[in-house]
Amino acid sequence: MGTPKNNSTDTVFQWNGIPQPGQLIPLGLQHVVAAVVGIITPAILVSNTCGLSESEKTLMIQVSLILTAIATLLQLFPIFHRIGSGLPVIMGISFAYIPTLQAIGEQFDISTILGAEIIGGIVAIVFGVFVKWIRPLFPPLVTGTVIFTIGLSLYPTAVKYMAGGAGTEWFGNVRSWVVALITLAVVVILSNFTKGIFKLGAILCGMIVGYILAYFLGIVDLSGVSGSSWFALPEVMPFEIKFVPSACVSLAIVYVVNAVQTIGDLSSTTMGGMDRMPTDRELSGGIVGQGIMSIIGAFFGGLPTASYSQNVGIVTVNKVINRAVFTLASVILLVAGLMPKFASILTTIPQCVIGGATISVFATITMTGIRMITEGGFTSRKSSVVGLSVALGVGITQVSGCLAGEGFPDWVNTVFGSSSVVVATIMAIILNLVLPKEKETAKK
């Protein structure tokens, strides 16, 4: 019969079965460490943009942890074999939505963001159902261009945070920059000169070092932590939900882009951990589950969800696909999310620490886009698609009010003038369709 199924050495490389605690716990914690910064930071960035109170920020972090746990469990244990991929992935709050969420938050409020999330979630569900037919519109060139634009558009956010946070007493202060640069240095050193848990948790370690330094420099304010409870369930509709058509269109486009990125992540997971491509049903279920969780999350004050590429990277390296490992990671995140005291402590992380840690994340996003664009070589056609798409996308958003003059309805500026991602996406799709394809016969 061969090796017993419950042998821990083999079980971690199988979908079913429960590994020994000595393997299960560190492997599960590894995924928590890799994901936790990506879970909490979008909530902090968006709540700051929308001017939320400390208690509301705590609530958003709490909900982000809970949503990530539930979204991951839904992927691990599909409902009706149609909602959820049934693949070893971590799915949670995503950085990729931040530029558009911040643009909506600055022009409107958190209520408008939540309304747009519901529409975006519906769009993601439709995309998931018809993924086989929609997918050809988003080859690596288009998806890479959009991801590249997302990374570029996040750089100003990171620099503002490194400087201490625009509008705060610490903005431009030398102490803010010292903390930010030391945090970044720790991240870079651990990412490039270490292995194992320190390499995987480089961003988390950098934030811990930065936080301790910021505390001794008097930047950390812990006054609001004592009033937080140890246990609390999330509230239903803590914020009003508003539907602004222009905001809904902007975010819906980003949902489509992230659905395409999810296809890439699920494909990387199955190729790296299972030596096969995902089935259409797995892709459809994964994207549908992503859309449903975004809709549910909006009613609790949560942000949009997407697959986590950093955790996909872990699977491709260690080949561990055991469902129990990912379930343990989800349970740990769920328990953390049910503790407002823990979420409240996270709200005290200074903006300079967040900036120093996340600028490397944003750089990685940008380079991921470049890697997808240059796959198979870089041609003049690719140069036209990428160059024009990014030029218009980034250029329009950097010239305030260029689409708000006479003859333009208000919605045009909201949809196209506030988020570089939207314009870049539309341009990349159009250019990829209309520009003549390169002749590949010569290459073959």
Tell me the pLDDT tens digit for each residue of 89-111. Answer: 888 888 778 888 988 998 888 99
Angle, helices 21-49 vs 54-76, to 10°: value is 140
Query: Does residue 7 form part of some domain?
Result: no
Q: What DSSP designation does 96 have?
A: G
Q: Which residues of 341-355 are buried (b: 16+ CB within 10 A; e: fewer)?
A: bbbbbbbbbbbbbbb
Distance CA 133, CA 1 (A): 44
- Quote the number of domains for the chain: 1
Q: Which structural domain, as residue segments, surrounds residue 314?
A: 16-433
In angstroms, the CA 128 to CA 286 distance is 8
Give the pTM. Answer: 0.75
Per-residue pLDDT at 117 exceeds 90 = yes
| β pairing state of 91-93 and 305-307 | antiparallel
Structure tokens at 246: 């222009």
Whether residue 441 lies inside any domain: the answer is no
Distance CA 413, CA 136 (A): 29
Residue 299's pLDDT is what?
Answer: 94
Give Cα separations from 392 to 314, 384, 387, 389, 397 (angstroms).
35, 12, 9, 5, 8
d(CA 303, CA 290): 12
Q: Please give the single-letter amino acid code of residue 374.
A: T
Of 97 and 33, the one with more pLDDT: 97
Is there a contact between 60 and 302 (Cβ–Cβ < 8 Å)? yes
In a domain, 439, yes or no: no
Torsion of CA 85, 89, 94, 96, to 10 degrees: -80
For residue 315, is it within any domain? Answer: yes
β-sheet bridge partners, residue 126: none
CB atoms < 10 A from the CB of 400, how many?
11
- On whether the CB atoms of residues 288 and 262 are closer than 8 A, the answer is no
Higher pLDDT, 423 or 225: 423
What share of the chain has pLDDT > 90, as a percent? 19
Q: What is the pLDDT of residue 106?
A: 86
How big, in percent rounded to 5, are the helix, strand and coil portions of the chain?
70, 0, 30
- Inter-residue contact 419 to 399 (CB < 8 Å): no
Q: Does residue 428 form part of some domain? A: yes
User: From CA 276, how far away is CA 266, in angstroms rounded?
Assistant: 11
Question: Between residues 156 and 319, which one has the greater pLDDT?
Answer: 156
Euclidean distance between CA atoms 160 and 180, whole angstroms: 11
Residue 440 lies in a domain: no
Confidence of residue 5 (pLDDT cuts 50, 70, 90): very low
3 within a domain of the structure (yes/no): no
Q: Which two tokens stand for residue 202?
A: 């480089």
By the 8 A CB rule, do 297 and 117 touch?
yes
Give residue-wise pLDDT tens across range 301-331. Answer: 999 988 877 677 667 666 778 899 899 989 9
Domain contains 8: no
Reported as a single tens digit per residue, the pLDDT across 389-440 is 989 888 887 777 777 677 777 777 777 766 777 788 888 989 999 988 877 5
